[in-house]
Amino acid sequence: MASMKCYINGILKQGSVEQPQRQRLKKLAEAVSREGLEGIVLVPGPNMFYLTGINSLLLERPFMLFISKNEDLKLLSPKLEAGPYESLGIDVQEWTDEEGPSQAMKTLVSKLERGTWGIEGRMPFSFFNLLSHYLKAEFRNAQDILLSVREVKDSSEKELLQKASRILSKAFVSFPEIIREGMTEMELARKVADRIYELGAEKVEDVLVQSGSRASDPHSLPSGKKIRRKELIVIDVSCTFKGYYSDITRTYSVSKPEKVEDVYNTVLESQLSAERKAKAGVKAEEVDAAARNYINSKGYGKFFIHRTGHGLGLEVHEAPFIVKGNSSSLRENVCFTVEPGIYVQGKFGIRIEDDVFIENTSAFEITKVPKEYLWWL
């Protein structure tokens, strides 16, 4: 039986780059124990990467990592995926396509305590069906536990978040050079992605380009609509560096638009109000209220139709969520977006989004892109 200590020793032999996983695993095991669980079951994705430093694909083959409250790790893995984990000293139960996973699962669960096990929220039903057939235990959704553990970033995560933000910030500063009247939203989206990759991004996702009236639908995808003079253009993109996300939105135009300066400045001051409110110990909903109250005071409240922000890390949307009803207090070393917007249906949309990090109680922007009205012209 390979214990967590064997795992830790394995990763430490590979160099200090793996050191953070030691504390992350310890933190999760402690959280599992506090919640009265025997352990937690993960599948390939951000949580397994966070705890092992290994990226694997979530496909149709059952593939699960079991972490017990007493810090034992066991892995059910397709043979073609198992190699990197075996080198870390984890107890791996392999299975081949010819054999199927049933016997390997039966062997693995025979070593586990019964009781209640936490399940990662992204686990496919086919995986859970196999697991529950062999492990006669109670199960509960453990997504909140995982989000809480990952919410507070360690020093290595902070560095990667800042690096991703530097890359994306440089790209956003350069976008006015590539925006041209007559190009389609899809053409601009491709150029935006190319520029971010040129600057060193690992992955570019969720490239949203919306011009004119289409920007009043804040999550609409780029279309064949051509960009015109005097209309607003909202560009919202996320990118990663070594798995960690940055997410920025700016509102541009090809030439000076008409009758929107007051609305733009309302969005900007709303964002700054929320950032000033954001401190360790302040409730997430209070930051949302700071942004929303300012927009309400200017008479645009009904046009602010989404939350003020979301956490950033190994996922582009993770805890903390900056939204009404989230009474959880912000903690030091968390990273999240602040992105109020005003959307007048059928006319225009304006959104300004930056990434902030809480350190020494106060929040500071890790994205560095100008945002005063007409800075891009």
Q: Looking at residue 8, what is its pLDDT?
A: 42
pTM greater than 0.85 (yes/no): yes
- Cis peptide bond prior to 257, omega within 30° of 0: no
HSE, CB side, 13 Å, CA atoms: give it for residue 354: 21
Q: DSSP character for 31?
A: H
Domains of the chain as residue ranges with CATH = 4-150 (3.40.350.10), 152-365 (3.90.230.10)
- What is the Cα–Cα distance from 330 to 279, expressed in whole angstroms? 7
pLDDT at res. 295: 98
| Tokens read off for 316 | 């582009």
What pLDDT is attached to residue 18? Answer: 59
| Beta strand spans in the chain (E) | 39-42, 64-68, 73-78, 91-95, 116-119, 138-141, 203-211, 232-241, 244-253, 309-311, 318-322, 335-338, 341-344, 348-351, 354-359, 362-365
Query: What is the per-residue pLDDT for 27?
Result: 94
Q: Which residues pair with 95 in a beta bridge?
A: 78
Question: Which amino acid is it at 217?
Answer: D
User: Tokens in use for 175?
Assistant: 């976008």
Cβ-based neighbour number of residue 106 at 10 Å: 13
Instruction: Give the orientation angle of helix 155-174 with respect to helix 185-198, to 10 degrees.
Output: 130
Which residue positions in the chain have pLDDT lower than 70? 1-19
Residues facing residue 250 across a β-bridge: 235
Question: Which residues fall within 8 angstroms of residue 252, CB to CB, at 6 or more apart?
Answer: 175, 176, 179, 232, 233, 234, 235, 376
Locus of tokens 């409730």: 283
